[in-house]
Chain A
Amino acid sequence: MFDSLFGIHERALYAAADRISVLATNIANVDTPNYKARDYDFAAVLSGTSESDGLTLTRTHVGHLPLAAGGEASADLKYRIPYQPSLDGNTVEAPVEQAKFAENAVRYQTSLDFINRRIATLTTALTGQ
């Protein structure tokens, strides 16, 4: 029962939290020459197409760096295609990033709200009031 307690929102919350970090990096590097803006394909992350059988890298040498906790490469992290390429090689467009950031913050709060209401429902059921 508890595996499906929060439905997709548990996963959506993690995805949104990761994405906030990426978008914050883009906004932080808005003036860095040659920085390429990145973003997750949110739908792909949520549907789990790229995560379930994620790309794993074979380590053929002891000196090779291990990947993150899951041992999967972050295949969903893509580079953004700018509307107006900049001369200094930076592909961050502040308005685009700010819009995405705001949208993602709302997504995060929505997931949080659903989880909160689920907890409230269960608390009501448990206390029987």
Chain B
Amino acid sequence: MSLLGIFDISGSAMNAESMRLNVTASNLANADSVATTPQTAYKSRHPVFATQLREFGTNPNFDEPGVGVRVLDVIQSGAPANKRYQPDHPLADPTGYVYGSNVNPVEELTNMISASRSFQGNVEVMTTARELVLKTLTLGH
């Protein structure tokens, strides 16, 4: 029954969106982290979503259109580290520079709003599907 498949689809999307929220939280938490070298400075991370293809052989109804989402990878931003001159900082390099993270708080906050909205959308879908399944179960009563 295709209605029950919706729980898998929306569930995978909620999983992916919550991972996105998790990564955003990690980025925001490390927004003010500093390091001695640009290589060790915190780089903002972003999840990459991809359509989850159904494995062949798991479902006899192969042509069923419903597919979920998976997190393909978490990539690190290539933006340059935020270089600041702070000679009195304990982590400063010999020339007096510290390297802050390349996190853009505005970008992270908009990401957070988007992830939260998408999550809510999937919750709504799941709630509706649940109601419809329960109503179908009481058919004829």
A residues lining the B interface (CB < 8 Å): 17-18, 20-25, 27-33, 35, 38, 65-69, 73-74, 77, 94, 98, 101-102, 105, 108-109, 112, 115-116, 119
Name, among B17, B50, B125, B135, the residue most crowded by chain A CB atoms within 10 Å (CB to CB).
Answer: B125
Contact B68 A25 (CB under 8 A): yes
Minimum CB–CB distance from A23 to chain B (whole Å) comes to 8
Minimum CB–CB distance from A84 to chain B (whole Å) comes to 16
Contact B62 A28 (CB under 8 A): no
- A35 to B, closest residue via Cβ: B51
Contact B56 A65 (CB under 8 A): yes
A-B contacts, 15 of them at CB < 8 A, read: A18-B65, A20-B128, A21-B9, A22-B65, A29-B49, A33-B48, A35-B51, A65-B62, A68-B61, A68-B62, A77-B65, A94-B117, A98-B121, A101-B128, A105-B132
Contact A24 B69 (CB under 8 A): no
B residues lining the A interface (CB < 8 Å): 1-3, 5-6, 9-10, 12-13, 16-17, 20, 48-51, 56, 60-69, 114-115, 117-118, 121-122, 124-125, 128-129, 132, 135-136, 139-140
Contact B1 A17 (CB under 8 A): yes
Contact B51 A24 (CB under 8 A): no
Residues of chain A with a CB closer than 8 A to B49's CB = 29, 31-33
Selected from B63, B114, B121, the residue in CB contact (under 8 A) with A68 is B63
Q: A20-B2, A31-B114 are in contact. Are A25 and B65 (CB under 8 A)?
A: yes
Minimum CB–CB distance from B20 to chain A (whole Å) comes to 8
Contact A94 B66 (CB under 8 A): no
Residues of chain A with a CB closer than 8 A to B62's CB = 65-68
Number of A-B contacts (CB under 8 A): 108
What CA separation (Å) do A109 and B124 show in the bound complex?
A: 16
Residues of chain A with a CB closer than 8 A to B117's CB = 94
| A108-B132, A115-B139 given; 18 more Cβ-contact pairs under 8 Å | A17-B2, A20-B129, A20-B132, A28-B12, A28-B68, A31-B49, A32-B69, A35-B51, A65-B62, A66-B62, A67-B63, A74-B65, A94-B118, A98-B121, A105-B128, A105-B132, A112-B136, A116-B140
Residues of chain A with a CB closer than 8 A to B129's CB = 20, 24
